[in-house]
Structure 1
C-alpha cells in the first residue's frame, strides 16, 4: 500500500522514533506529521526536521495543528480532505493518533473549547480528525490506530489511588472537578482519557463494520508499554517522578524488562510497534486492543455496547461531528 499516513504528536519522544521507522521502512508512503508548534524556535520540531532531512526522497509534510483547539482540527481536516480530493496527496492508508497531554502538578485545565485538555488532546480532537477523514481512505481501506495504555484499566496503579472511571454524568469527563492530590488526580484524568479512547475505538469498529463503504478500515488501540525515557516524565510532573524516571527506572530498564515486566521499554521499541501495527504490517485486517503487538483483552467497559453508545454519542457532540461533516452513515442510525 502506498497511501498517506497521518501521525499526530510527531515531535514527541515516541513520535520522533516512529517517524524515523516510517520513513526508513515504508518509503512508499506519504507522511503528514502534525505538531502543536511548528515554529523554528521549537526544539522538538527542529529534531523532527533533522530526522526528515535524512530522507531526501521522502514525501513528508510537517503541519502545525493544535489539538487543544477544535477549530484548528476541523480546518486541518477540511484542507487535507480537499488536497486528497484534488490529487495533491494519495488517499489515506492510516491515521495514527499518537499525541497526548497530561498535567500531574496542577488543577484540571480547560481548553478554549471548554474541555479538560487531557481529554481533548488525547481523545476529542482525534475523534474529530478521524471521523472527518474516513471518506479519504482508498478503496482498499486502511487503519485507524489510537494510543491506549495499561492505565486504562479500572483499577488502582502505582501512579494514583484514583482508578479510571466512567461517571454517571459524562460531562464530568470534559469538565472534571479539582482535587488536592494533583499527581494522583492528573494520573486519574490521563487513565480515564485512555479508557475513553479504548471504548471509542471499539465503537468505531462496530460502526465501520456496518458501513459497506468503510468496512475495509480497521481500528486498533495499542498499549505501547511504559516508556521511561519519554519527555512526558519531564513535563508537568513532580520532581519526585522526574528523579525516579531518570535516575532509577531508566538505568535499571534492562533488568526490569528481563526479570520483572517487559512492558517497561524505550520509546524506540514502542515506535516500531506503533508504526507496524498502524500501517497493517502487523495483524493485517484485525481489530481491537493490543498490548505491544499481542492481541489482548481491554477493560470490560470497552466491550459493553451500551457504554460504547454513550461514549460515542457524547464524543460526537464534543467533537462537533454531524451528518454534514462525517461520511460514517452507520453511526447516525
Structure 2
C-alpha cells in the first residue's frame, strides 16, 4: 500500500531524528513517506538509517538541507509544495514536520555566511524551522502537524537575547561559560516555542477552520548524548551524561524525562502523529506544550501573548516575510 502522508524530519540522521524514523516505520509500516533532511547524505549515520529503512521496505527519501542557509530552506519548501502538487510526494495532510535538528555552540558571535549579522545558532534553531513552517503552511492547513523539538533549557532563555543586548562586547568566536552557553541555547528554544504559539493564534485568526496543529515537545535528557549540529560539546556534558547514565533508573522514578534513550521521546513524537491527542475535535487557538507524552503548561513568559507577538514580529523581519499569514 502506498504511504498516505509525508512526514519531514529535519536532523533525520541525528540520534532522535533517525530513531523517530525507525519507530514510525517499525510501528506503522508503510503508513508514512519519511523525508529525512541532513547536511551530509553520505556519512555513516545516513547510510545506517537508509539501510534500516530499506530492510523494512520503507518509503523514504534522504535529502540534503543546510538549515543555516535560509534561501536553501525556503527553496526546499517551495520544491516540496511543487512535488506534492505533481503527486510525486504524498500530502503533508495526516503527516507534517518534525523540527528535530538543533545547533549548539559555546562560542559567541558566529555568523551565517552571506547574511547581515545572523547568529548561526539563532538561524538554525529558530529562523530555519519558522521558514519551513511558513513556507509549507498552504499545504498543511487541511490537517497537518508541526512538532518543534524543544528543551527544558528554554526556562532560562531570554526573549531579547539575539536582539543585540546580550551580544555587546563579545568578539566573534569568543568562548563563553557553560551557563551562559546554555542561556543562549535556551533562548533559541524559548523563541521557537513562543513563535509556535503566535503562529497558532494567527492561523486561527486568518483561517478559523484550519486543522494545522503546532506542538512543542521537550524530549527530556537522552542518555545517547545527542548529536547536536556544531560538534562543540562543553566538557560538562560527558561528565553530566556519565552521572545521569548511572543514576538514570532512580531519577526516572521521580521524573520520567530525567534520562532516557532516544526511543522514549521518539515514541512520544510518533504517538502525536498516530493518536488523536485532542487534535481531531474543534479548532485550536494556541499550540500545545508536551514533556514527552504529558501535556504541560509552559512558563508564564512563554504564554505572554504580547511577548509572543514581539517574537513573531522580529522573526518575520529577520525572515523577510510579512507578519500576515494570508496566502
Offset of residue 173 of structure 1: 8.1
Corresponding residue for residue 208 of structure 1? 203
Matches within 5 A, 1:78-89: 78-89=78-89
Q: For the residues of structure 1 that align with 2:175 and 2:88, how far apart are their CA atoms?
A: 51
Offset of residue 23 of structure 1: 1.3
- Runs of 5+ unmatched residues, structure 1: 154-162
Corresponding residue for residue 270 of structure 2? 275
Q: Deviations over 1:263-313 (max 9, x none)?
A: 321111111112222x15251417411111111111112221111111111
Q: For the residues of structure 2 that align with 1:229 and 1:187, how far apart are their CA atoms?
A: 19
CA RMSD, aligned part only? 2.5
Offset of residue 25 of structure 1: 2.3
Matches within 5 A, 1:91-130: 91-92=91-92, 93-104=95-106, 106-112=107-113, 113=115, 114-130=117-133
Q: Deviations over 1:109-168 (max 9, x none)?
A: 2112332122111110010001000111273x1211111221111xxxxxxxxx31123x
Corresponding residue for residue 156 of structure 1? none
SS at match of 1:48: helix
Contact 1:301–1:307 (Cα < 8 Å) also in 2: yes
Offset of residue 51 of structure 1: 2.2
Offset of residue 180 of structure 1: 5.8
SS at match of 1:228: coil
Q: Deviations over 1:216-242 (max 9, x none)?
A: 111111111111322348931233421
Contact 2:221–2:257 (Cα < 8 Å) also in 1: no
SS at match of 1:76: helix
Q: For the residues of structure 2 that align with 1:123 and 1:281, how far apart are their CA atoms?
A: 27
Contact 1:183–1:237 (Cα < 8 Å) also in 2: no
Q: For the residues of structure 2 that align with 1:21 and 1:219, how far apart are their CA atoms?
A: 21
Contact 1:131–1:321 (Cα < 8 Å) also in 2: no
Q: Give the TM-score of the pair, scaled to structure 1.
A: 0.85
Q: Give the TM-score of the pair, scaled to structure 2.
A: 0.86
Instruction: Identify if the C-alpha distance between structure 1 residues 288 and 231 changes in structure 2 by more than 3 Å, giving closer, same or farther.
Output: closer
The answer on 1:239 being equivalent to 2:232 is no
Corresponding residue for residue 143 of structure 1? 145
SS at match of 1:5: strand
Q: For the residues of structure 2 that align with 1:211 and 1:127, how far apart are their CA atoms?
A: 17
Corresponding residue for residue 256 of structure 1? 251
Corresponding residue for residue 164 of structure 2? 172
Matches within 5 A, 1:34-113: 34-38=37-41, 40=42, 42-56=43-57, 58-92=58-92, 93-104=95-106, 106-112=107-113, 113=115
Contact 1:11–1:45 (Cα < 8 Å) also in 2: yes
Corresponding residue for residue 302 of structure 2? 302
Instruction: Identify if the C-alpha distance between structure 1 residues 6 and 183 changes in structure 2 by more than 3 Å, giving closer, same or farther.
Output: same
Contact 1:152–1:192 (Cα < 8 Å) also in 2: yes
Q: For the residues of structure 2 that align with 1:3 and 1:184, how far apart are their CA atoms?
A: 41
Q: For the residues of structure 2 that align with 1:60 and 1:180, how far apart are their CA atoms?
A: 39
Q: Deviations over 1:13-46 (max 9, x none)?
A: 11111010111223211111111111x2x22222
Contact 2:7–2:34 (Cα < 8 Å) also in 1: yes
Contact 1:150–1:223 (Cα < 8 Å) also in 2: yes
Q: Deviations over 1:20-76 (max 9, x none)?
A: 0111223211111111111x2x222222222222221x2211110000111110111
The answer on 1:329 being equivalent to 2:322 is no
Q: For the residues of structure 2 that align with 1:188 and 1:89, how far apart are their CA atoms?
A: 39
Q: How many residues align?
A: 310
Contact 1:148–1:194 (Cα < 8 Å) also in 2: yes
Contact 1:9–1:34 (Cα < 8 Å) also in 2: yes
